A and B are shown apart, each in its own frame.
Chain A
C-alpha cells in the first residue's frame, strides 16, 4: 500500500538524480557550515572575556583581569574536587583535606595524617548494610564483591571510582528531583523539557567532553560534570513519571486534610512517589559507572583511568580486570539501591536503640576491631600493611589468564576470522555503504518524511524534515550517511539477536530473572575492552566496530523483547492454549504481534546503544561523524564542532525515536494494551 508507493518513488529518485557537484537534489549546499565556528567563538568568548573581574593573584602578587565566568567555573571545579578528595581521604586516608582546614606546615611538621579505613572493616560494613536493606543474601553479595576487589589488588582505584560516584550521584539527584518537580507542577516546563532531555540523552557522550575541557579543564571535576550532564535526564524523567503515578484520590485526601501546596508536595506527593524516585537514583548510579572510562578521558582518576592506561599499552588482561571491578561495583550498587527502593518502611517506634541503629552500631564496632588488628598488623608487616590495602602488584590477578585466552582465540581462529572479515566487508558492508552514499539528498528526505507521514501525519514528517535539514545543510552530510549505514546495520543485527535471545530467555522462569544480571554486566562493562578484543581479531575496519556495536546493542534489544513478551495478557495465552496452538504458532500469532510495540520501543534504545559504539569506533579510525568528533579534540574550533556533530548524532537518533514511538503508541491503542 502506502509503503510500496513510497518505495517506488524512492527508487525512482535514487536512480534518476545525477551525481554532480552543484545539483541540489544530490547534495544540499553547506550553508550552515559556519555554525560550529560561531558556537566555538561563543564558548571561548564566554570563557575568556565575558564579565571581566579584577582578581588578586597571590602568586604573582598583582591584579589580574579574569572573566567572571572563568572564576565561577573555577570555583565549581574546586568545590567538586574538594568534595571528591574528601571522600577518598575519608576511606583511604590522606592529608589534603586536613591541609584545607589547618595550614600546610603545621600538618607536615606534626606528621598529621588521616588514617585509612582498613578494607576488612569496609567489607563488614557492606555486609551489614546489605543485610539491613535486603536480607542475608544481599549482604553476602555485597561482601563478596567488596572482598574480591580488595583481594585482587584493586582497592585504591575502586575507592577512587566509588568516591566519584558518591559525590556525583547526590548532585544529579538534587538537580534531577528539582527539575522533575518543577516539570510536574508546571505543564509548560514539562513540554519545554522534553526535547531538551531527548537531545541530552541521545548525544554521544564524547561530544560533551570537548566543551567541558574548554570550560573547566581536566580533572576529576570534569569527569563529574560530564557524568552529571548524562545522568540527570533519566532522574528528571523518573521523577515526573513517579509523581504522575500518584493516585488522584491520595492527592485529594491531602488537599482535604488542608495541606498547603508545599505540604502537599513534600508530605504527600514525593513520599508516595518514592519508589520511582529511588529507581531514578538507581539509574543515575548506573550511568555514573557506565561513564567511568569516558570520565577518565578528561582526567578522572580511578578504575577508568587504569583501564585506559592498560589499553594504551595493550595489556588486555589488566584492562579486563579493571572492567570487571567496575561491573562488580555496578552490580552491588544496583542491587542495594533497588532493595532500598523496594523496601517497605520498617516500623521503628517499638524497637530499642540497638535494633534501630543496628547498621551503624555494627559497622563502627567492626571498624574499631579491624583498626586495632591493622594497627597490630603494622608491627608485623614491615613494608606493606596488608590489613589496610593490598596493592595491585601483590593482589591475586586473573589478568594473565585473560591474556592467554585472547591469544588462544587469536591463534586458533585467525584465518577463519580473516576470511569471514573479507567476505563480510566485501559483500555486505561495502555495498551497503555505497548504497547509502549514493542516495541523493532528495531521495533520503522523501523516504524519511514519507515514513514519518504515513505513521504519524504531517507533524512527524515535519519534525523529521527539520532535524535532517540541519544536518544536510552542514558540511558533514556524507559522514552522517556513513554513521547512518553503520547504525542501520547494527540495529537490524542487534534486533534480530535480541528477538532470538529474548525469546529463549523468556521461555524459562530462570531466564527472565537472569536478564537483569546480564544487563548489569553488559551495560556497565566498558565497551572499550571488547572493542579492543574485536580489533585484534578483525583489524581496524568497520567490521570490528559493527561487531562491538551489535554485541553492545543486543542487550537492550533482548531486555525489551523479554519485557514485551511478558506483557502479553495472560488471558490471550489461555485463549491460545484452549485453541490448541503449537509453540511456534503461539510465538508467531500471539506473542510477537502483541509484544511488538514494546519491542519497537527497544529499537530506540538499541539505536542509542549502537550509536554509542559506532561513535566509539571512531577511536580506531572509521570515517564517520564519530571520527570527526574525536579529531575535534585537537582542532581550534574543536569545542563548537564537537557539540554540533554531537547534535547531528542526536538528531538522527531522535528522528528514528519519534517515528517509532508514534507507531508503538498507535499500535498499543489498536491492540488495546496498556
Chain B
C-alpha cells in the first residue's frame, strides 16, 4: 500500500544562500559549519512515511525542528530540498492553485494558539474552510453544526472566541480542521497552551475522535508522555535529525541513542508496554491461566507477578496461544537495569 505521506531526504535550511550551501555539502550537513556560514539548519535529512489511518507523533524539544518539519509537509514553508509525496504526488512541485485544491480537499490543521478568527462566531469559524471552498452557506452551516456536536460544543454555536476557555477554543479549532473531512490531519502542539488537567481531557477526546474517524495524522508535541499515549509511531527529533522512528513500545524497550534514552529512562513501563511487546515464544508446560496479548502491562502485572507459573498468552481475537510470559521476565522489564 502506498503510504499517504512519503518523505525522502527533506532538508530545510534557513539563510540567504541555503540551497547553494546544501548542494555543495553533498549530503553531509553539519549544523556548526552551516551556522558559521550564516545559515540555520531546521530539518536535516528527514526520511519517513505515514500510512493510511496511522498516527505519527513527531516529538522534540524547542528548536528540534519538529514544527519546521510539519510546516514543510503542509507546505506552509518550502523545503530547501527533498521529495515530499502526498498520495503519490510530489507537493514540492505543485503550483499555488494545486496547493489550494489540496488544502481545501485533503488537509486540515490545528494550531497551538487556536488561530481562530476573532470577528467570527464559533459556527462561522468552523464553517470557514467550507465557505472558502465555495460550498453554499446553508450546506456549510449544516456541516458546521454537525462538527459542533462532534466536538461537544453544542449550545455555544453563537459565541465568539473571546467568550470561550482555552480548551473550548481548541475544540473549535479541531472542528474547523475536520469540517472539510480531510484525509490528512496536521496538529501542531494543539494542547500545549492548555492546563495539564484540560490537556488530559483533550487527549482522551482526541483518541475518541480518532477511533471514530480513523484519519492519517501527523501530530507535533514536545511532551514525551503525550507522544506515548497517542502515537502509533513516534519520531524523536533533535537538531533537525530524526533520532529514532518506532512504535512507543520499541522505543521504550530499545532506545537507539543516548538522547532518546534520556526520555525513556523515566517512563513508567507498565503504562506503555503491552504483553505482546515483551512475551516469549509459546511453551508446552504453560499453566491454565492465560493473558490477553494486547493488555497493558499494568493491568496484568499483578496477576503475573503473583504466581511462579509460566502463563500462556492468547490473541484476544483468535483465542489462539501466541506466546508465554513469566514472573521473572516482567520483573526484568519493569525493574531491571536499563
**Would B113 and A247 count as touching, CB distance under 8 A?**
yes
**Would A249 and B117 count as touching, CB distance under 8 A?**
no
Shortest distance between the CB of B76 and any CB in chain A (Å): 6
Kindly list chain A residues whose C-beta atoms are within 8 Å of the C-beta of B128. Answer: 257, 267
**Would B100 and A253 count as touching, CB distance under 8 A?**
no
Complex Cα spacing A259 to B104, Å: 8
Q: Is B1 an interface residue (CB 8 A)?
A: no
**Would A272 and B119 count as touching, CB distance under 8 A?**
yes
Kindly list chain A residues whose C-beta atoms are within 8 Å of the C-beta of B94. Answer: none
**Which has the most chain A C-beta neighbours within 10 Å: B74, B119, B121, B162?**
B119
Q: Hey, what's the 0/1 contact readout for A230-250 against B, CB within 8 Å counting as 1?
A: 000000000000000001011
Question: A247, A252, A257, A272: which contacts B132 (Cβ < 8 A)?
Answer: A257
Kindly list chain B residues whose C-beta atoms are within 8 Å of the C-beta of A271. Answer: 117, 119-120
Shortest distance between the CB of B134 and any CB in chain A (Å): 10
**Would B118 and A272 count as touching, CB distance under 8 A?**
yes
Shortest distance between the CB of B186 and any CB in chain A (Å): 8
Q: Is A22 an interface residue (CB 8 A)?
A: no
Q: Is B329 an interface residue (CB 8 A)?
A: no
**Would A256 and B107 count as touching, CB distance under 8 A?**
yes
Subset of 22 A-B contacts with CB under 8 Å: A249-B111, A252-B76, A252-B109, A252-B111, A253-B115, A253-B117, A253-B176, A256-B74, A256-B103, A256-B108, A256-B177, A257-B103, A257-B132, A258-B104, A258-B133, A258-B180, A259-B132, A272-B117, A345-B119, A347-B158, A347-B160, A350-B158
- Beyond the given A247-B113, A257-B103, could you list 8 further A-B residue pairs with CB under 8 A, ordered by the A residue number? A253-B109, A253-B117, A255-B76, A256-B107, A258-B129, A258-B133, A345-B160, A347-B160
Q: Is A268 an interface residue (CB 8 A)?
A: yes
**Would A347 and B121 count as touching, CB distance under 8 A?**
yes
Kindly list chain A residues whose C-beta atoms are within 8 Å of the C-beta of B9. Answer: none
Kindly list chain B residues whose C-beta atoms are within 8 Å of the C-beta of A263. Answer: 132
**Which has the most chain B C-beta neighbours within 10 Å: A257, A258, A271?**
A257
**Which has the most chain A C-beta neighbours within 10 Å: B103, B111, B115?**
B115
**Which has the most chain B C-beta neighbours within 10 Å: A258, A259, A260, A271?**
A258
Q: Is B112 an interface residue (CB 8 A)?
A: yes
Kindly list chain A residues whose C-beta atoms are within 8 Å of the C-beta of B114. Answer: 249
**Would A267 and B132 count as touching, CB distance under 8 A?**
yes
Shortest distance between the CB of B241 and any CB in chain A (Å): 25
Question: B111, B119, B121, B162: which contacts A253 (Cβ < 8 A)?
Answer: B111
Q: Is A344 an interface residue (CB 8 A)?
A: yes
Within 8 A of A (CB), among B150-185: 158, 160, 162, 173, 176-177, 180
Complex Cα spacing A89 to B105, Å: 54
Kindly list chain A residues whose C-beta atoms are within 8 Å of the C-beta of B113. Answer: 247, 249
Complex Cα spacing A579 to B20, Å: 57
Shortest distance between the CB of B164 and any CB in chain A (Å): 14
**Would A274 and B119 count as touching, CB distance under 8 A?**
yes
Q: Is A349 an interface residue (CB 8 A)?
A: yes
By beta carbon, the residue of chain A nearest B105 is A258
Task: Report whether over half of chain A's contact residues are helix, strand or loop; otherwise say mixed.
Answer: helix
Kindly list chain B residues whose C-beta atoms are within 8 Å of the C-beta of A350. Answer: 158
Shortest distance between the CB of B130 and any CB in chain A (Å): 9
Kindly list chain A residues whose C-beta atoms are within 8 Å of the C-beta of B117. Answer: 250, 253, 268, 271-272
Question: B119, B129, B158, B160: which contacts A257 (Cβ < 8 A)?
Answer: B129
Complex Cα spacing A423 to B100, Å: 75
Question: A256, A257, A347: which contacts B76 (Cβ < 8 A)?
Answer: A256
**Would A249 and B103 count as touching, CB distance under 8 A?**
no
**Would A255 and B119 count as touching, CB distance under 8 A?**
no
By beta carbon, the residue of chain B nearest A344 is B160
Kindly list chain B residues whose C-beta atoms are within 8 Å of the C-beta of A247. Answer: 113, 115
Shortest distance between the CB of B36 and any CB in chain A (Å): 26
Complex Cα spacing A267 to B74, Å: 21
Kindly list chain B residues whose C-beta atoms are within 8 Å of the C-beta of A253. Answer: 109, 111, 115-117, 173, 176
Within 8 A of B (CB), among A307-358: 344-345, 347, 349-350
Complex Cα spacing A657 to B302, Å: 77
Shortest distance between the CB of A462 and any CB in chain B (Å): 26
Kindly list chain A residues whose C-beta atoms are within 8 Å of the C-beta of B104. Answer: 257-258
Complex Cα spacing A465 to B81, Å: 47
By beta carbon, the residue of chain B nearest A260 is B100
Shortest distance between the CB of A227 and any CB in chain B (Å): 30
By beta carbon, the residue of chain A nearest B100 is A258
Kindly list chain A residues whose C-beta atoms are within 8 Å of the C-beta of B76. Answer: 252, 255-256
Question: B100, B105, B115, B133: which contacts A252 (Cβ < 8 A)?
Answer: B115
By beta carbon, the residue of chain B nearest A252 is B76
Q: A256-B76, A256-B107, A258-B133 are in contact. Are A249 and B100 (CB under 8 A)?
A: no
Kindly list chain A residues whose C-beta atoms are within 8 Å of the C-beta of B109. Answer: 252-253, 256
Kindly list chain A residues whose C-beta atoms are within 8 Å of the C-beta of B121. Answer: 347
Shortest distance between the CB of A271 and any CB in chain B (Å): 5
Complex Cα spacing A268 to B119, Å: 9
Question: A250, A260, A267: which contacts B115 (Cβ < 8 A)?
Answer: A250
Q: Hey, what's the 0/1 contact readout for B71-108 against A, CB within 8 Å counting as 1?
A: 00010100000000000000000000000110111011
Shortest distance between the CB of B272 and any CB in chain A (Å): 32
Kindly list chain A residues whose C-beta atoms are within 8 Å of the C-beta of B160. Answer: 344-345, 347
Within 8 A of A (CB), among B234-280: none
Within 8 A of B (CB), among A45-104: none
Kindly list chain A residues whose C-beta atoms are within 8 Å of the C-beta of B103. Answer: 255-258
**Which has the most chain B C-beta neighbours within 10 Å: A247, A253, A349, A350?**
A253
Kindly list chain A residues whose C-beta atoms are within 8 Å of the C-beta of B111. Answer: 249, 252-253
Complex Cα spacing A255 to B101, Å: 11
Complex Cα spacing A344 to B159, Å: 12
Complex Cα spacing A259 to B176, Å: 14
Kindly list chain B residues whose C-beta atoms are within 8 Å of the C-beta of A268. Answer: 117
Complex Cα spacing A156 to B105, Å: 60
**Would A258 and B158 count as touching, CB distance under 8 A?**
no
Kindly list chain A residues whose C-beta atoms are within 8 Å of the C-beta of B162. Answer: 344
Q: Which 5 A-B pairs have CB atoms at the shortest separation, nearest pair first?
A: A258-B104, A253-B115, A257-B129, A258-B103, A249-B115
By beta carbon, the residue of chain A nearest B128 is A257
Kindly list chain A residues whose C-beta atoms are within 8 Å of the C-beta of B186. Answer: 256
Shortest distance between the CB of A261 and any CB in chain B (Å): 8
Shortest distance between the CB of B223 and any CB in chain A (Å): 19
Kindly list chain A residues whose C-beta atoms are within 8 Å of the C-beta of B180. Answer: 258
Kindly list chain B residues whose C-beta atoms are within 8 Å of the C-beta of A344. Answer: 160, 162
By beta carbon, the residue of chain A nearest B125 is A253
Kindly list chain B residues whose C-beta atoms are within 8 Å of the C-beta of A249. Answer: 111-115
Kindly list chain B residues whose C-beta atoms are within 8 Å of the C-beta of A252. Answer: 76, 109, 111, 115
Kindly list chain A residues whose C-beta atoms are within 8 Å of the C-beta of B118. Answer: 272
Kindly list chain B residues whose C-beta atoms are within 8 Å of the C-beta of A349. Answer: 158
Shortest distance between the CB of B87 and any CB in chain A (Å): 16
Complex Cα spacing A274 to B133, Å: 24
Shortest distance between the CB of B72 and any CB in chain A (Å): 13
Complex Cα spacing A291 to B225, Å: 64
Kindly list chain B residues whose C-beta atoms are within 8 Å of the C-beta of A345. Answer: 119, 160
Complex Cα spacing A345 to B162, Å: 11
Within 8 A of B (CB), among A99-158: none
Kindly list chain A residues whose C-beta atoms are within 8 Å of the C-beta of B116. Answer: 250, 253
Kindly list chain A residues whose C-beta atoms are within 8 Å of the C-beta of B120. Answer: 271
**Would A258 and B115 count as touching, CB distance under 8 A?**
no
Complex Cα spacing A350 to B158, Å: 9
Complex Cα spacing A585 to B112, Å: 44
Q: Hey, what's the 0/1 contact readout for A256-282 against B, CB within 8 Å counting as 1?
A: 111110010001100110100000000
